[in-house]
Amino acid sequence: MNGEQPDAHRARGLDPPQSAAAPSPFPPIADYAFLSNCHTGALVAPDGAIDWLCAPRFDSPSIFASLLDRQAGFFRLGPFGINHPTARAYEPGTNVLATTWKTAGGWIVVRDALTIGPRNHEDTITPHTRPPADDDGDHMLVRTVECIDGEVELELICEPAHDYGRTASEWTLVDGSRQKADASGAGQTVRLVCDLALGVEGNRVRARHVLARGDKAFCALTWAEGLAAPQSADEAEAMILATMRFWRDWLDRARIPDHRFREPVQRSALAIKGLTYMPTGATVAALTTSLPETPGGERNWDYRYTWMRDTTFTLQALHWLNLDWEADEFMQFVADVEPAEDGSLQIMYGIDGRRDLTESTLEHLSGYVGARPVRIGNGAFDQRQNDVFGAVLDSILLHTRRGARLPRRLWPIVQSQAECATQVWRDPDQGIWEARGKPQHYVSSKLMCWVALDRAAKLAEIRGDPDLGAKWRSTADEIHADILDRGVSERGVLRQRYETDALDASVLLAAIFGFLPDDDERLRATVMAISTDLTENGFVLRYRTDETDDGLSGKEGTFLICSFWLVSGLAIVGELQQARDLMERLLRVASPLGLYAEEFDADTGRHLGNFPQAFSHLALMEAAARIIVPELMSQYG
């Protein structure tokens, strides 16, 4: 265990740091279930409440935000007076949730889905820039209930709070019917349709009904065109079945090896697809904003945007799974975005490609377990982070090799990003972790500039321009030499930044991107140093906060992506059994539904940070491949 202990704080007259497992009305982050229609997503708490939903897009203002304030809106469907289910699981191969409840009188099963079905008209709610697929989001949340034994009293409570909880809903029954009610607020109207008798109680609606064995019920919350919704339990069930077919048909196209890691890879693929914004092909970094990296602390960020550094990991995972359509969609989004004034790509963009992601705080929200501020927007959008060039050009090279051609519209991006990397690689920046302290000469940033020029040189050769390739190769060699001269400590370990011997997990990218040969002693020393000196209970920190000026206070948890990177690094340098051992530990700390947040608190076993986190799942797939491939190849050795 590293870091200062609670008893040490008390001895100095300080309050001990807040435990990630302190009693709270908020559910643990990892206990949430994730739903998606590839336009937006929802989080379902164990008690059957939708605690997070933004509509119609991932980055829209929330309708339900009890995730960040227990008065900011929720939508519960479950047995009256019972809050702890017997079982929760995804319907196999889908993002459809099935929750089984036992009461004193009987059993029910609730199924929840953000439904997806055959496309039969142009989407005017979230217009597409990519070619629409055969199936598309229905723009509604559908919930069905079936009593499988005995009798159960069912309760429905729907209490939206629009615009991140700033505006309570005004409810009206539609045409005097108790089966339809509209909720309006902050310029938005959603409709609740069900086969239960609704009653309006101020800013919420409620219904109660006893189901006997074989009885079914449904409800649907819609923001679709014309507020379309199913009108019966049979229609609702058909929509959920169509959604299940969509996810399974999609997964059938994926190439997932028959291996013991098959299920976590499959769940990760479903999570990544669920975090994809179908209209543009963009992928959000996570579903949520402001879930804390430090319990009760200020390390709370909005991750509902697309990071350019995710491009190479996303393309790598999608191509490895043979999901080339999704890979091309994401690559086209990258080609569409507008560069900054100097020609460089920003480190992140909105899912519609917008550049301005100005950050603000929502002072009226309490934050998850008191972690404030709650932020919307992301102030790092205009930071200088020199790793972005390498991530983009590596993804273009990967995409080019996979498609056996270099698309004409990507070549200007290759030229501009290579020239930007050439101009800035000697300069300090904020680094891959978006530190809000002063710029530094981060080794991983220099490394990714090397990746940029190395990949650009290879792309120039593919294009048939050897002179330009030689020019970029020369710069790549210069960066390589500078890193080995100034970025390696006396014990032969890659540093976090020049002028310090502090460690940083981001230098594991040297192994993943082939900066040094697999058998190079400096690479091995770096991987092993991080394994022994930058871990808590075997899980990897991104850096030690007392050695890094990141402009923030508080200790953070271990970063799951860094632990998966270490799995990859260990496999690359030949420590395959150590890689397996760490991978097994990481798979055991997944959420009950197989999902990962950004961080893991090694002391309490709780997940921290935004959820579910795309980068964690992408790194899981990359790490799994590093173990699966040699194991499968050994069968033919």
Q: pLDDT (tens digit, 9 = 90+) per residue, 469-519?
A: 999 999 999 999 999 999 999 999 999 999 899 999 999 999 999 999 999
Q: Which of 31, 27, 19 minimizes the C-alpha distance to 591?
A: 31
Between CA 103 and CA 48 the distance in angstroms is 14
Q: Under a CB-based contact definition with an 8 Å cutoff, are residues 516 and 522 in contact?
A: yes
What residues are paired with 108 via a beta bridge? 101, 147
Determine phi and psi for 375, rounding to 5 degrees. -115, 145
Ordered by where they begin, the domains of the chain are 32-252 (2.70.98), 262-634 (1.50.10.10)
Name the band, by pLDDT with cuts 50, 70 and 90, for residue 174.
very high
Q: pLDDT (tens digit, 9 = 90+) per residue, 177-197?
A: 999 999 999 999 999 999 999
Q: Is 569 helix (H, G, I), strand (E, B) or coil?
A: helix
User: Residue 569's CB: how many other CB atoms inside 10 A?
Assistant: 31
Q: Is 541 helix (H, G, I), strand (E, B) or coil?
A: coil
Name the band, by pLDDT with cuts 50, 70 and 90, for residue 635.
confident
Name the band, by pLDDT with cuts 50, 70 and 90, for residue 107.
very high
Q: Report, as an integer, the average pLDDT of 210-228.
A: 98
Could you tell me what percent of the chain has a pLDDT over 90? 85
Tokens of 556: 């953070």
Higher model confidence: residue 636 or residue 7?
636
Tokens of 310: 């995710």
* pTM confidence score: 0.95
Between CA 163 and CA 178 the distance in angstroms is 26
Q: Under a CB-based contact definition with an 8 Å cutoff, are residues 96 and 103 in contact?
A: no
pLDDT at 5: 46
Higher model confidence: residue 537 or residue 17?
537
The answer, yes or no, to whether the previous bond of 132 is cis (omega within 30 of 0) is no
What residues are paired with 173 via a beta bridge? 181
Higher model confidence: residue 437 or residue 461?
461
Q: Report, as an integer, the average pLDDT of 228-253.
A: 97
Q: Under a CB-based contact definition with an 8 Å cutoff, are residues 530 and 505 in contact?
A: yes
Name the packing angle between helices 388-403 and 324-336 (round to 10°). Answer: 130
Task: Report whether pLDDT(534) > 80.
Answer: yes
Name the band, by pLDDT with cuts 50, 70 and 90, for residue 552.
low
Task: Report whether pLDDT(310) > 70.
Answer: yes
Could you tell me what percent of the chain has a pLDDT over 70? 96
The answer, yes or no, to whether the previous bond of 612 is cis (omega within 30 of 0) is yes
Q: Report, as an integer, the average pLDDT of 390-415.
A: 93
pLDDT at 637: 65
pLDDT at 404: 86
pLDDT at 9: 45
Task: Report whether pLDDT(2) > 50.
Answer: no
Task: Please state, rounded to an integer, the average pLDDT across all residues of the chain.
Answer: 94
Name the band, by pLDDT with cuts 50, 70 and 90, for residue 553.
low
Lowest average pLDDT, out of 59-68, 314-323, 371-380, goes to: 314-323
DSSP state of 145: E
Q: Report, as an integer, the average pLDDT of 38-48.
A: 98
Nearest-Å Rg of the Cα atoms of the chain is: 25
Name the band, by pLDDT with cuts 50, 70 and 90, for residue 403.
confident
pLDDT at 1: 30
Name the band, by pLDDT with cuts 50, 70 and 90, for residue 554.
low
Lowest average pLDDT, out of 229-233, 379-383, 501-505, goes to: 379-383
Task: Report whether pLDDT(275) > 90.
Answer: yes
Task: Report whether pLDDT(550) > 90.
Answer: no
Name the band, by pLDDT with cuts 50, 70 and 90, for residue 385.
confident
Q: Under a CB-based contact definition with an 8 Å cutoff, are residues 136 and 122 in contact?
A: no
Higher model confidence: residue 546 or residue 353?
353
Name the band, by pLDDT with cuts 50, 70 and 90, for residue 545.
confident
Q: pLDDT (tens digit, 9 = 90+) per residue, 58-83?
A: 999 999 999 999 999 999 999 999 99
DSSP-assigned letters across all residues of 319-334: HHTT-HHHHHHHHHHH
Name the band, by pLDDT with cuts 50, 70 and 90, for residue 323.
very high
Helices (H), 425-465: 443-463
Between CA 114 and CA 209 the distance in angstroms is 24
Task: Report whether pLDDT(308) > 80.
Answer: yes
Name the band, by pLDDT with cuts 50, 70 and 90, for residue 383.
confident
Distances (CA, A) of 275 to 3, 158, 285: 34, 25, 8
Exposure string over 579-588, b if 16+ CB within 10 A, otherwise e: beebbeebbe
